[in-house]
Structure 1
Amino acid sequence: MDLNLSDEQRLLRESAERFIVESYDADHRRRMANDPQGFSPDVWKQFAELGWLALPIPEAYDGLGGGAVDIGILMEAFGRGLVSEPYIATVVLGAGLVEKCGSEQQRRAILPKVGDGSLKLAFAHSERVARFDLSNVATVANKTVQGWRLSGNKIAVLDGHAADEIIVSAHVHDHQGPSGRIGLFLVPAQTPSLVMSDFARLGGGRACNIELSDVHLTEDARLGGGEDTLPAIEWAIDRAMAALGAEAVGIMQTLLDATLEYTKIRKQFGRPLSANQVIKHRLADMAIQCDESRSMALRAALKADAEPVERARAASGAKAKIGKCARFVGEQSIQLHGGMGVTNELEVGAYFQRLVAFDTLFGGSAHHYRRHAELGRATVPA
C-alpha cells in the first residue's frame, strides 16, 4: 500500500500549515479563549474561501469530493494552532449526516451552503444517561398532523450555540415502521421551544446543552425517509473520531517540538537539560508516542469507508491508543517544562487541556478498548 501523499494532499498540508502560522498566533488563541462566541467569523470565511469547508462535500453539491485522509491532513494542522472554529460540528458531523441520510432535495439545499460558509450545523445526540452508548436515545419524536413534535434533552452539543440548524436524534413514534428506530431531524436554532445553555469547553471552543420541550417541526424536517439512522450516526462518529485523532497528533507534535526546544535552552548546573541522558530518553519516548498516534490516526482515516465492523474497530483502536499516548506526551511536556508548564505565560497548558478533552470526547480510552474487543469477538466464527 502506498501511503505517500499525493501532490494535491501535499499542497493542502503546506497551505494549512502556512495559514496556521500566519493567522493563529498566541494572541489570537488568547482572544478566542475569552471570546463568548468561541471562534472568529472572519476566519470561518477564510476557511470557505480556501475550500476547506467544501473539502469532503461531493462535487455534485459544489464540493471538492475529498476523503477522510484529506480531512486528517487539515485537522493535524488545526491541532498545531488549537483551532476553535466549528469544523467538526459543521463539516464532518453535520454535512456528513446530511450527505448520508438526507433526501436529494435536502442535500441540494444544505450542502452547498455549508461549503460556502453561509450555514453552520451541529449534531445533538449525546444524553446524560447514555454513557457513550450511541443506541441509547431517550428523546422522542411523535408524528402529528402538521409534522413532528420533539421532546427531550441533549448534552455536550459541540458548537451548538453557533449553529444555524441543529440535527437532533430521536426515537420515532409514527405507528408506521418498526419500533426502536432512531430518526434525525433538522431543528432551526431559533425555534421558540428550544432552550440552549452554552459553556466553554476545556482546551478551547464551546458546547451547549439543549432542552426540547414540545418542539413542533414540519413534515420535511426529518432527514431522509423512514429508515433507522443509527448506522449513519455510528459512521459519522467514527469519521469524527478519526479527524479528532489527527488533530490530537498535531497537538502532540507541537508539544514535543516546544519541549525539545525548551530543554535545549534551559540550563541546569551549567548544562542544557537536553544533555541529560534521562531527558533524552523521555524525549525519545514522546517522539515514539507521536509516531504511533500518527499511524493510528491514518489507519482510522483509511478505514473510514470500510465495512462497518472494520471501520469501527479502526476508529475505536485509534481513539483508545491516541488517548493514552496523548496523555503521556502532555504530562511529560508539562513536567519537563517545570513550573512554567502550568502558567499562562506558556501555551503548554492550553495544548494539554485540549488533549484531555480529546480523551473524553465520544468516549475515553477504556470505553473504546471495550468496544474494540467486543467488535473483535463479533468477527470470530462461533
Structure 2
Amino acid sequence: MDFTFNEEQTLIQDQVDQFIQKEYDWETRQSLSNSELGFGDNNWQKFAELGWLGISTSEDSGGFGGSAIESMLIMEAFGKGLVVEPFLETIIMSSGLIDEHGSDQQKSSILEPAIAGELHLALAYAEPQSRFNLSDVVTEAKIDGDNYILNGYKSVVMNGPSADKIIVSARTSGSQLEEAGITLFIVDANSEGLNKTNYKTVDGRRASDLTIENVSVTKDDIIGHVDKGFGLLDSSIDRAILAISAEAVGAMEVLYKTTVEYTKTREQFGTSIGKFQVLQHRMVDMFMEYEQCKSLLYMATMKHEEGSSDAKKAISGLKYQVGKAGKFIGQQAVQLHGGMGVTDELNVGHYFKRLTTVGTIFGNTDFHLKRYTSL
C-alpha cells in the first residue's frame, strides 16, 4: 500500500495549510464561532473559488473528480485550525450522496450550487431513540398521490441552522429497525411544517433539532430509489467518519505540539517541567497515540478508495482509535497546561471539546469496537 501523495495532492495539502496559517488564526476562528452565523461566509466563498468544495465531486457533476484522499488532506488541515465552516456537513455528507445517487435534476439544481458555495446542505439521519443505529428510523413518509407526506423528529442535525436543503431519512415501509424500507428525501429548509430548534454545540458548531409535521415532498425529491436509502446513508456516514477522523488527527497534532512547547517554558522547582521524566513519558504516549491514529487514517482511507472488502472494518478500527486517543491526548494536554488549559482564552480546551465531540459522533468507541469485532 503506497502512502505517498502525488503532486496534485501535495499541492492541495500545502494550499490548505497556508490558508490556515495565514488567514485563520485563533482570534479569527473564535470571532467566527461566536458570530450569529457560526462561520465565515467569506471563507466559504473562498473555499469555492479555490475548488475545495468540488474537490471530491465527480467531473460529470461539475467537480474535480478527486478522491477520499484529497478530502482527507483538507480535513486534516481543517482540524489543525479547528475550522468551523460546514465542509463536513455540506460537502462530505450531503453533496457526496447527491453526486453518487442523485438525479440529473438534483445535480443541476442542488449539487452544482453547493460546490459553487451558493447553497448549504445538511443530513438529518439521527433520531432521539436511534443512538448510533442508522436503521432505527421512526420518521415516516406516506405516499399521497404523486407526493409523500413526512412526519417525525430528527435530532442533532449538524449545520441545520444554515442549511437551504436538508436530506431526511424516513421510513416508507417496514418496521422501526429494518434496514429495508428507508428512503432519503431532499426537503427544502423553508418547507411548511418543518420547524427547527437551533443551538450551539459544546464545540462551538451549530446544530438543529427538527420537528417534521405533514411536510410534503415530491417523488423527484427522492435520492436513489424508494426503500433503498439505508445503503446510501451507511456509505455516506463511512465517508464522514474518514473525514472527521482526519480532522481529529489534525487537532491531535496541534495539541501534542502545543503541549510539548509549553512544557519547555513552564518552570517549576527552578527548571522547565519538560525536563521531568514522568512528563516526558506522557508526551511520548501522546505522540504514539497520535501516530497510531494517523497511520490508521491513511490505511482506512486507502482501503475505502480501493473498494477493499475490509474497508468498513478498517473504518471502525480507525474510529475506535480516534475516540480513545482523542480523549487521552485532550486530557493530557489540559492537565499539563494546568488550570489555564480549560479557559476560553486558550485554544487547548477548545481542541479538547472538538475531539470529545468527534469521539461520540457517528458512533462512540464502544459502538465501533463492537462493529469491528462483528465484521
Residue equivalent to 1:23 = 23
1:224 aligns with 2:218: no
Q: Is 1:118 paired with 2:115? A: no
**Cα pair 2:80 2:251 within 8 Å, conserved:** yes
Aligned to 1:301: 301
Q: Normalised by the size of structure 2, how large is the TM-score?
A: 0.96
Deviation at 1:309, TM superposition (A): 5.7
**Could you say what secondary structure the match of 1:302 adopts?**
helix
1:3 is matched with 3
Match of 2:233 in 1: 233
CA distance in 2, matches of 1:180, 1:12: 39
Q: CA deviation at 1:311?
A: 2.4
Deviations 1:122-161 (A, max 9, x none): 0000001111111111111111114110000000111011
For 1:191, the aligned partner's letter is S
Counterparts of 2:200 and 2:135, CA distance in 1: 27
Please say if 1:65 is aligned against 2:62: no
Match of 1:55 in 2: 55
Structure 2 gaps of 5+ residues are: none
Counterpart of 1:144 in structure 2 is 144
- Residue 280 of structure 1: how far off its partner (Å): 1.2
Contact 2:182 2:226 in 1 (8 A): no
State the distance in 1 between where 2:349 and 2:27 align: 15
* 2:101 aligned partner, one-letter code: C
Where does residue 349 of structure 1 map in the other structure?
Answer: 349
Tell me the equivalent position of 2:289: 289
Distance 1:96 1:74 in 2: 15
Alpha-carbon distance, 1:106 to partner? 1.9
Indicate the larger mover: 191-200 or 33-42: 33-42
Deviations 1:304-346 (A, max 9, x none): 2455862221111111111101111111111111111112231
Partner of 2:163: 163
CA deviations on 1:53-96 (whole Å, 9 max, x unpaired) are 00110011210111111111100110111111111111001011
Q: In 1, distance between residues paired with 2:225 and 2:322?
A: 37
Which amino acid in the other structure matches residue 138 of structure 1? Answer: V
Counterpart of 1:211?
211
Amino acid at match of 2:82: L
RMSD of Structure 2 on Structure 1 (CA): 1.6
Tell me, yes or no, if the aligned pair for 1:341 and 1:349 is still in contact at 8 Å. Answer: yes
Q: Which residue of 2 aligns with 1:311?
A: 311
Counterpart contact for 1:55–1:71, Cα < 8 Å = yes
Q: For 1:127, what is the secondary structure of its paired residue?
A: coil
1:241-280 maps to which residues of 2 (within 5 A)?
Answer: 241-280=241-280
Question: Does the 8 Å CA contact 1:238/1:311 hold for their aligned counterparts?
Answer: no
Question: Is the CA contact 2:34–2:204 (under 8 Å) kept in the aligned structure 1?
Answer: no
Secondary structure at the counterpart of residue 75 of structure 2: helix
Deviation at 1:34, TM superposition (A): 1.6
3-state DSSP of counterpart to 1:304: helix
Task: Report the 3-state secondary structure (helix = DSSP H, G, I; strand = E; otherwise coil) of the residue aligned with 1:251.
Answer: helix
**Which amino acid in structure 2 is aligned with residue 150 of structure 1?**
L
Matched residue type, 1:23: E
**Is the CA contact (8 Å cut-off) linking 1:147 and 1:216 kept in structure 2?**
yes
How far has the Cα of 1:240 moved from its partner?
A: 0.3
- Deviating more after overlay: 293-302 vs 100-109: 100-109
Q: Which moved more, 1:343-352 or 1:159-168?
A: 343-352
1:180 Cα offset (Å): 4.1
Q: Give the letter aligned to residue 266 of structure 2.
A: R
Unaligned 5+ segments in structure 1 are: 376-382
SS of equivalent to 1:131:
coil
Q: Hey, what does 2:87 align to over in structure 1?
A: 87
- Structure 2 SS opposite 1:149: strand
Letter in 2 for 1:280: Q
| Residue correspondences, number | 372
Q: How big is the shift at 1:227?
A: 5.0
For residues 136 and 101 of structure 2, the distance between their equivalents in structure 1, rounded to whole angstroms, comes to 19
Alpha carbons of 1:234 and 1:308: their partners in 2 closer, same or farther (altered >3 Å)?
farther
**How far apart, in 1, do the equivalents of 2:195 and 2:261 lie?**
47
For 1:345 and 1:158, the matched residues in 2 are separated by: 25
Alpha carbons of 1:369 and 1:213: their partners in 2 closer, same or farther (altered >3 Å)? same
Could you tell me how far 1:182 is from its partner in structure 2? 0.8
Please tell me whether the aligned partners of residues 172 and 180 of structure 1 are also in contact (alpha carbons under 8 angstroms): no
Q: Percent identity?
A: 39
Could you tell me how far apart the structure 2 residues matched to 1:101 and 1:308 are?
21
> Cα distance 1:181–1:308, how it changes in 2: closer, same or farther (>3 A)?
farther
Q: 1:200 to 1:80 in 2, by over 3 A?
A: same
Q: Answer yes or no: is 1:107 the counterpart of 2:107.
A: yes
1:308–1:168 Cα change, 3 Å: farther
Q: For 2:374 and 2:309, how far apart are their aligned partners in 1?
A: 10
Q: Where does residue 134 of structure 2 map in the other structure?
A: 134
Q: State the TM-score, normalizing by the size of structure 1.
A: 0.94
Once the two structures are superposed, residues 169-190 of structure 1 have per-residue CA deviations (whole angstroms, 9 ceiling, x without a partner) of 111159xxx9941111110011
State the 1:38 CA deviation. Answer: 1.1
For the structure 1 residues 186 and 49, does the alpha-carbon distance in structure 2 shift closer, same or farther, using more than 3 Å as the test? Answer: same
Residue 57 of structure 2: SS of its match in structure 1? coil
- 1:80-117 CA-to-partner distances (Å, cap 9, x unmatched) read 11111111111001011112321233223322212111
